[in-house]
Amino acid sequence: MATEKSEPNTGLILKVVVFAVVTLLLIRSGLVAYYDDAAKAEEQRKWGDAKPVALMSLRADEQQRLTSGPMPIDKAKEQMAAQGRMGVSPMIAPSISRDVAPLQGWSKMPGEAPSAMMALPEPPPSAMASVDAGPLASDAAAPHAAPDAAAPKAPPPRPKRP
């Protein structure tokens, strides 16, 4: 029996493999692009030209209700810009919160709330003017503390770095 003892032509085999892989990749990308275009065209044919009738009617109804009624929205905007929120009810007026729970922290790792938050709020100056009857005789005899005795102390300045 006769056998061939020559080495295989690896260069030719490598060229054929590379050509086959490149051809398969090009065919795959071409087919994917073709089917993607066909699917998009079919979706456009079915759904692209349809008008959202329900949404358009909802928007038209909302616009009609905003422009008609006891006060149209444009007039309300102008009035709000001119007058602001004068005469707003105290129930909805913004005010400073006295809730110290967020400052105290998590119940498993509590912190201490600042004493300024725990103090009762001072009454407005207009209320004090109507209640205040002037200095008492006992106030003149009492020793007065420095006006800034209760104010927090500023931290010392940091030294400048060179």
Q: Tell me the per-residue pLDDT of 111-139, one tens digit each, with 9 for 90 and over.
A: 776 666 655 666 655 544 444 455 555 55
Per-residue pLDDT of 33-44, as tens digits, reads 999 999 999 988
134/136 Cα distance (integer angstroms) = 7
For the chain, the distance separating the N- and C-terminal CA atoms, rounded to the nearest angstrom, is 94
The ranges assigned to domains in the chain are 53-78
Instruction: Decide: pTM greater than 0.85.
Output: no
- Give the pLDDT score at 127: 47
* Res. 83 pLDDT band, cuts 50 70 90: confident
Percent of the chain with pLDDT over 70: 70
Non-local CB neighbours of 100 within 8 Å, separated by 6+ positions: 113, 117, 118
Backbone CA torsion sign across 23, 26, 32, 36: negative
Percent of the chain with pLDDT over 90: 30
Helices first, then strands: H and E counts in the chain: 7, 0
Q: Which residue has the higher pLDDT, 158 or 30?
A: 30
Backbone CA torsion sign across 145, 147, 153, 158: negative
